[in-house]
Structure 1
Amino acid sequence: MNDESPSRRRFRELALVGIAALVSAYVAYLFAPVIQQREEDAKDPVKLGEPAFHVEVREAYNQADDGIHWVFPERLPVESFAPLSPPGGPAELTEAERGKDPERLLGELGGSRVGWNCDGADCVAVSRYHVTLTGNRKQPVQIRSMRAQILAEHAAPSGTLLAIPPQGGGPADVIYIDLDADRKDARTVDERNQPTTRIFTDVENRYAEQGEPLTLIVIATTARPVVVEWELVLELTQDGTRETVTVKLDSGRPLRTIGWLAVPRYDVVYVRDYARDAIVEQQP
């Protein structure tokens, strides 16, 4: 027979509740560092397998310097370039064509926009990319080297050249890569955007805190009649740890540089006749 009084039973129940609370608090205390570490790991880019930089890449054409130059693998009739003529010009457009951005239409024709870099009368074919690298580590990330890695090469388009010469965020570093050189390190440029002999990472220190963007204008060149597909390889250090990040287009496709100035002969070349404000075939 249980002759325990109600008050004693109540005291025992409260004691058990108190002991359970103490045990729970002690267990929570013991495991708090583990739980905290798991929470930190769930946010740690390294533990999540994320790269040291978030990368954004877009093609960067400076029309004031480049003009408008497109190359196509096939010979195209002059009517293909009607969107570049003014309304009421020599070629009338369909309603569908009127609504299209000319650059998109030229791309649908199989064209590739190309650029050049000139020192006086000496010009070389280049590509330009605007690269934004945003730090993704708790400690500052230092760029120790930048170089191009060739992925593929094939002949440059030689069907049609459309050539319309020029008529007259925050700060970005400009780097220059010669894809024909044995060493494809990124070099500095002078005030005329001409390459120097200095390797960029030998003379410039660039760090990125977490969430801090670094902006680069990457100029790559080839003097051969080829299409070079490549990627930019960054060697990094962060708190004594070395990492490698490769830079491609946001779509995942490789960067491309077309040696369009070195093509021996195009099937046809079109230029703008400014007097008639029309695209016409260039006569030999």
Structure 2
Amino acid sequence: MSWFLLLFVAALGVQIQGVAGEYIGGFFDRAQGPAIQVGIVTEAPTHQWRVIPATPEVNAAMIANAADVGESHYEIILTGRSARTVVIRDIRPVVDRCGDPIGGDLVARFHGGPAPKVVLGLDLDGDRRTFRAVSKNGKMLDPYFIGPTARKVTLSKGEVESFVLSVKTTRRSCEWRVAVDYTAHGKPHTTLVTRTGGVPFRTTARLPETSEYSAVHHLRDPGKNVWERTDLRAYCAEPARDPQMTPRPMGMCDPK
């Protein structure tokens, strides 16, 4: 009988120790902060036009807060921080407001880098409730996170997933943010993603006539970050010294 009691107490002690370890581990895991970390939201590798109010000179803040013309491309990087697996339930757009297309000065931008692996597309002129999968040729497919073909994304501690958000419009200008819905420790959470400083992303349609834009700001000396303001017609007529630094995406120099 004494041997039976000894074995029972020993087994009970192991069970209690296991439960306590799980509880303590979970406590410290939650105390470290959010279960996922949203990495730096960067512009994806692409040629891109932005538009700012007409001005003789530009600075970094003006460019950072400018509206993308026609399309926006941003990369969002998610990193797991929890000892337990985190489930990404949805990455969805939050469209704050829309209005007429924006005019002013154009800014020519280029960002290099490897081609994105997972692209999530959104048409601001259509269904603005969900991001869709995008094919290699740029065609929008079914919703990525919801519906019968919903993809399952999980993050272990230290695991990284990245998505390129491709947002377009041909009719309006919109301000939008991104909501990341996830489950951690059995509870739902949401993280809102914006530009630096809480500024929403901005995407505007191209104006009907290219001549409606005042001018274009483009890099003349990338090493010194020197920008030059040129009349759009003169800019389009001049051969590009470096296609990477003086891009002509979206046929901006061609009649629409």
Identity of aligned residues (%): 20
Equivalent positions of 1:182-221 (< 5 A) are: 182-196=127-141, 198-201=142-145, 202-221=149-168
1:102-150 residue CA offsets vs partner (Å, 9 max, x unmatched): xx747558983635xxxxxxxxx11111111111222211222221111
What pairs with 1:71-110 in structure 2 (closer than 5 Å)? Answer: 71-74=51-54, 76=55, 80=57, 105=59, 108=62
Q: Which residue of 1 aligns with 2:225?
A: none
Aligned partners of 1:73 and 1:111 also within 8 Å: no
In the alignment, structure 1 residue 266 sits paired with structure 2 residue 180: no
Q: CA contact under 8 A between 2:87 and 2:153: conserved in structure 1?
A: yes
Change (3 A) 1:273 1:230: same
Q: C-alpha displacement at 1:218, in angstroms?
A: 0.8
Residues in 2 aligned to 1:192 and 1:283: alpha-carbon distance in whole angstroms: 22
Structure 1 unaligned residues grouped into runs of 5+: 1-31, 81-103, 116-124
Residues 52-131 of structure 1 aligned to structure 2 (within 5 Å): 52-63=35-46, 66=47, 68-74=48-54, 76=55, 80=57, 105=59, 108=62, 112=66, 114=68, 125-131=70-76
* 1:252 aligns to 2:198 (yes or no): yes
Query: Does residue 166 of structure 2 align to residue 222 of structure 1?
Result: no
SS in 2 for 1:268: coil
Unaligned stretches of 5+ residues in structure 2: 1-16, 216-231, 247-252
Conservation of the 8 A alpha-carbon contact between 1:148 and 1:179: no
2:82 pairs with one of 133, 137, 146: 137
- TM-score, scaled to structure 1: 0.57
| Structure 2 counterpart of 1:44 | 29
Q: TM-score, normalised by structure 2?
A: 0.63
Q: Which residue of 2 aligns with 1:236?
A: 182
Letter in 1 for 2:51: V
Q: Is the 8 A contact 1:188 1:199 kept in 2?
A: yes
Distance in 2 between the 1:135 and 1:41 partners? Answer: 15
Q: Which segment is superposed worse, 202-211 or 212-221?
A: 202-211
Pick the structure with greater CA Rg. Answer: 1
Measured against aligned partners, the alpha-carbon deviations of 1:42-91 in whole angstroms (never above 9, x if no partner) come to 6323x45x33311023331434xx2x5232222x46xx5xxxxxxxxxxx
CA deviation vs aligned residue, 1:16-49 (integer Å, no higher than 9, x gap): xxxxxxxxxxxxxxxx99x97896466323x45x
SS of the aligned residue for 1:43 comes to helix
Distance verdict in 2 for CA 1:135–1:160, change over 3 Å = same
CA shift at 1:276, angstroms?
A: 8.7
Q: Which amino acid aligns with 2:144?
A: F
Cα RMSD after superposing both structures: 4.0
Partner of 1:6: none
Provide the residue aligned with 2:6 in structure 1.
none
Moved over 4 A (4+): 35-42, 106-111, 162-165, 262-265, 275-279
Q: 1:26 — aligned with what?
A: none
Structure-1 separation of matches of 2:25 and 2:92: 34
Change beyond 3 A, Cα 1:204–1:131: same
